[in-house]
Amino acid sequence: MNLPRGRREMSTLLGVEQDYPAKTRAQLRQAAEVMGIDEEYISRMARFFAARIAADRQLGKTCARYAGCGGKKQVERMIAFWSSIALHTDAYCGDLVAAHRNLHDLERQDFARWLALFRATLDETAPTQAAANYLMSRTERIAKDLEAALFEHAGR
């Protein structure tokens, strides 16, 4: 990276590496893999979760009203999303809020059901308890932020 002379010297003095973000992502990915989270697991988990949503009385109805919900393309987007979240890849480049804003029938209480289905999916599919706990903690933060974006900040 071509930094101005003063910044380049400061980076050298402080021992800051230019490729720090890439190294950090690699370390996080390695930690996830130690827990048993890899691309194969993410794919299996996302497919299992999508099927669980489609079969659910509450969320399945909302999902069924929208073209593509539960279909191959949506599952592929879910795989890319969870790969980005769990393995720190750049696979997902969509707008999570916009995607869920289009689900006009989505209600605030649906988030509790969604989290319960996700927990059940992890309990059934996660390779280790550490993997289940890690993914669930990430999911709870995402759900909280998504719920706030859809219902508090958007005035729904």
Domains (range + CATH), the chain: 20-152 (1.10.490.10)
Cα-based angle 143, 79, 88 (whole degrees, multiple of 5): 75
The mean pLDDT of the chain is 83
Pick from 93, 71, 76: nearest CA to 42: 76
Q: Using one digit for the tens of pLDDT, what is the confidence trace for 11-29?
A: 454 554 556 566 688 888 8
Mean pLDDT calculated for residue range 51-72: 81
pLDDT value at residue 105 = 81
Give the pTM: 0.78
Distance CA 27, CA 100 (A): 31
pLDDT at 10: 46
Write the single-letter amino acid at 139: T
